[in-house]
Amino acid sequence: MSDQTSFAVVKEFYDSFVRGDIDAVVATLSDELDWRESENFLLGDRNPYLSPAAVVDGVFSRIAREFLGYDAGPTELIDGGDIVVAVGRSKGVMASTGKPFDAQYMHVVRVANGKIVSFHQVIDTLEIWRSQQID
**CA–CA distance, 47 with 100 (Å, rounded to integer):** 25
* Contact between 91 and 8 (Cβ < 8 Å): no
Prediction pTM value: 0.92
Count CA atoms within 13 Å of residue 27 on its CB side: 10
Q: Is the pLDDT of residue 60 over 90?
A: yes
Place 4 in a pLDDT band, splitting at 50, 70 and 90: low
Phi, psi of 26 (to 5 degrees): -60, -35
Q: pLDDT confidence of 1, banded at 50, 70, 90?
A: very low
| Span 24-33, average pLDDT | 97
Residues 72-89, mean pLDDT to the nearest whole number? 97
Task: Single out the residue of 41, 101, 109 nearest to residue 76, CA to CA.
Answer: 109
